[in-house]
Amino acid sequence: MPVNLPTNLLRGFVAIVDSGSMLNASEKVFITQSALSLQIKRLEELLQQALFHREGRRLSLTPAGDLMLDYARKVLALHDEAVNAVSAGQYAGPARIGMVQDFAETLLSGLLARFAELHPEAQIYARVAGTADLLAMLDTRQLDIVLGFAANNDPNAITIAPMAWYGRQELLADPTVPLAVLEPPCRFREAAIRTLKDAGRPYRITVETPNLTTLRAAVSAGLGVTCRTHLFSHDEPIDLPDMPLPKVSCILQTAPSLSHATGRLAELTRETVAAL
């Protein structure tokens, strides 16, 4: 009996080689590291050959793996060509969108619900991370659409939003401003610190977190003030005319070519953000 090699095993194998690590490959093929590891083990069992030398976390191809890589690329290319030809271009993978937490918490559920009504057959992969990380994933074709923040003169801007101070007004009576921020890199953190320095106001970071929900809780609890856009809070911002903040762009960037469904998701995203 001839051995049948499932294409998902081949895709995982090629992804590991192309991305350089099991972690990066797992994000590229949308499965966990443990599941990907099991896929490679299964592929090696089917071929009865080791494909990787394993030295701790470092992986390198064996001679059999090096030979298999070329065939795997050819098989996947021919497979995808056949599917596209037979389905007359209607075949597409999941619509892959990434956005920063601010947008994910305020519009993701509604946006995806609208998209699902228009394309009930479509699959969606959503990733929430910082703008820099999302753009890196877009460059490596792990995402199709990225919604994030950038400088107010960015050419990919959908809309421009003012930054504002949020928190309890009485905290500013402290000679040293208590500041709540996200971990770097963060455009709002940088703007807050730069503005305080320019105004000659001493500050101390009282809360630092990677999570926007935690930041919001800390500000609500009076642990510090922060700098965000109107998406951060329903409360009125603090009025600080002596410490003006810059504006920020809400940007949308997409991969060079999109399927029909993914293109529609990009359009819906643009329309939703423009209306905020």
**Residue 254 forms beta bridges with which residues?**
145
CATH number, domain at 129?
3.40.190.10
Instruction: Report DSSP state, residue 4.
Output: P
Contact 116, 67 (CB under 8 A): no
Q: Kindly state whether residues 54 and 179 are assigned to the same domain.
A: no
Residue 151 lies in a domain: no
Domain extent for 265? 96-146+252-274
Domain closes at, from 65, 86, 107: 86
CA 154 to chain centre: 19
Instruction: Report DSSP state, residue 92.
Output: -
Q: Kindly state whether residues 236 and 201 are assigned to the same domain.
A: yes
Cα separation, 156 vs 255, whole angstroms: 13
Cα separation, 102 vs 130, whole angstroms: 10
Residue 237 lies in a domain: yes
State residue 54's pLDDT score.
82
Q: Kindly state whether residues 68 and 200 are assigned to the same domain.
A: no
State residue 61's pLDDT score.
92
Residue 28 clears pLDDT 80, i.e. is over it: no
The per-residue pLDDT for range 213-233, each reduced to its tens digit, is: 899 999 999 999 999 998 887
Q: Token pair for residue 169?
A: 């007004």
Assign 68 a pLDDT band (cuts: 50, 70, 90).
very high
Residue 157 lies in a domain: no
Q: Which pTM does this prediction carry?
A: 0.64
CA 178 to chain centre: 30
Peptide bond into 185 cis (omega under 30): yes
Query: Can you tell me the mean pLDDT for 194-218?
Result: 93
Q: How many domains does the chain have?
A: 3
Residue 2 lies in a domain: no
Q: What is the sign of the dihedral through the CA atoms of 253, 83, 69 and 64?
A: positive
Q: Kindly state whether residues 259 and 197 are assigned to the same domain.
A: no
CATH number, domain at 35?
1.10.10.10
| Percent of the chain residues topping a pLDDT of 70 | 94
CA dist 147 to 133, 156, 158, Å? 11, 10, 10
The per-residue pLDDT for range 89-117, each reduced to its tens digit, is: 454 568 889 999 888 877 777 888 888 88
Residue 159 lies in a domain: no
Cα separation, 194 vs 247, whole angstroms: 14
CA 217 to chain centre: 23
Residue 152 lies in a domain: no
The per-residue pLDDT for range 152-199, each reduced to its tens digit, is: 888 889 999 899 999 999 998 888 999 999 998 899 999 999 999 999
The per-residue pLDDT for range 107-152, each reduced to its tens digit, is: 777 888 888 888 777 788 888 889 999 999 888 888 899 999 998 8
State residue 7's pLDDT score.
87
Q: Kindly state whether residues 172 and 187 are assigned to the same domain.
A: yes
State residue 152's pLDDT score.
83
Contact 270, 104 (CB under 8 A): no
State residue 149's pLDDT score.
93
Residue 266 lies in a domain: yes
